[in-house]
A = this chain, B = another copy of it.
Amino acid sequence: MTEALKLGSTIGILGGGQLGRMLSVAASRLGYKTHIFEPSANPPAAHVADQVTTAAYEDADALAQFANAVDVITYEFENIPTSALDILETLRPIRPGREALRVSQDRITEKEFLSGLGLKVAPFSAVQSDEEMTAALEAIGTPSILKTRRFGYDGKGQARLNSEADRAAAFADMAGAPSVLEGFVKFSHEVSVIAARGVNGEVACFDPGENVHIGGILRTTTIPARLPGTKRMDAVLIASQILNALDYVGVMGVELFVTPEGLVVNEIAPRVHNSGHWTQNGCAVDQFEQHIRAVVGLPLGDGKRHSDVVMENLIGDDMDRVPELLGETNVAVHLYGKAEAKQGRKMGHINRVKPSEK
């Protein structure tokens, strides 16, 4: 096994949003410094980082300087331009590795990868032309959902088709971007597994959480999820299989639909995940620290939960509830330091902690 990165080393993080911010705090807890690379000024992560580079992903000099100033590179989002990765990887290790990014940056590549592992995914069909749309609708039918192959998040780049009548509007929504038509999976609920894999191949999973989305945006994650013991094991095995297949290093979020026929993989995210925020107050080692441990080569935490938690996102106007939430018992408030509370913008989250009886 590789030696762990020396205490006091610097972890470079691509992206300065709330995930980078919470990764930075976790890094400090283990005695590491962070250096944030982010195109926009004054990002949330900058407030708790040792160094910040404000530059575009097209700025080759800035990328090289950043890489030379850090000991290892990780990221808080998967849509990093390939050209930037080409420069960075010649200078420092990037963890998780490029294969995970390649697979997760494109919905079709991702689904083909997952199917190739023998895992269930929603039926899907590539759509770039009107002809392909016709073929896809014939194969998949409605209800279904048309999504851009790349750069989608929080329900963006998605259009639902309840019937053939929605075809034109949905197709127009994609604005010519390469897309995929996905069949609707009849699921009772969605769960996600936050899984981690270390540099030596050890895998550790947190308990599955149950997710509720509204308008394509995650609202709550509840731990424990409604899931019988056998499916709980299935969920963990699916996540482990994915991580091992990618020779993955770091934390990954794996979203699963629970159906009578078993678990269907919705999507994977090669990074810490919103549905893993509950771990901050439910576990001694949270997903952010788990990711840092993996990235620097330290042993992973075992994912054990000491308390049950309900995580709730604070989106847009939810910020008005903060004064009240601060007064509630066993509620941990986590704000992201964003200046403006726009509609649909994730401003923070709360973890309602319920002492477990074990």
Q: Which A residues form the contact surface with B (CB < 8 A)?
A: 4, 7-8, 21, 24-25, 28-34, 46-50, 281, 284-285, 293, 298-299, 301-302, 304, 306-307, 323, 326-327, 329-337, 339, 348, 351, 353-358
Q: With A8-B337, A25-B28, A335-B29 known to touch, is A329 a contact of B353 (CB < 8 Å)? A: no
CB contacts (< 8 Å) of A326 on chain B: these are 293, 298-299, 301
Instruction: Give the complex CA separation of A48 and B48 in angstroms.
Output: 4
Residues in B with CB closer than 8 Å to A46 are 50
- Inter-chain CA distance A336–B29, complex, in Å, is 7
Complex contact A355–B306 (CB within 8 A): yes
Counting from the closest, the 10 A-B pairs by CB-CB distance are: A31-B335, A284-B332, A48-B48, A306-B355, A47-B50, A31-B337, A28-B48, A355-B356, A306-B353, A284-B330
In the assembled complex, which residues on chain B have CB atoms less than 8 Å from the CB atom of A351?
Answer: 284
CA distance A271 to B323 in the complex (A): 24
Known contacts: A284-B281, A284-B353. The answer to whether A48 contacts B24 by CB under 8 A is yes
* Chain B residues whose C-beta falls within 8 Å of the C-beta of A32 in the assembled complex: 337
Write out the residue numbers on chain B whose beta carbons fall within 8 Å of the beta carbon of A298: 323, 326
Which of A4, A24, A330 neighbours the largest number of chain B CB atoms within 10 Å of its CB? A330
5 contacts between A and B (CB under 8 A): A30-B333, A284-B351, A285-B332, A306-B354, A355-B356
Q: A293-B326, A306-B330, A307-B307 are in contact. List 7 more A-B contacts (CB 8 A).
A: A28-B337, A30-B333, A32-B337, A299-B323, A299-B327, A355-B356, A357-B357
Bound-state Cα–Cα, A8 to B354, Å: 30
Is B47 a contact partner of A28 (Cβ separation < 8 A)?
A: yes
CB distance from A347 to the nearest CB of B (A): 9
Say whether, besides A284-B331, A331-B284, A358-B357, A33 and B47 are in contact (CB < 8 Å). yes
Distance in angstroms between the alpha carbons of A356 and B284 in the assembled complex = 14
Closest B residue, CB atoms, query A33:
B47
Q: A12 CB to closest chain B CB, in angstroms?
A: 14
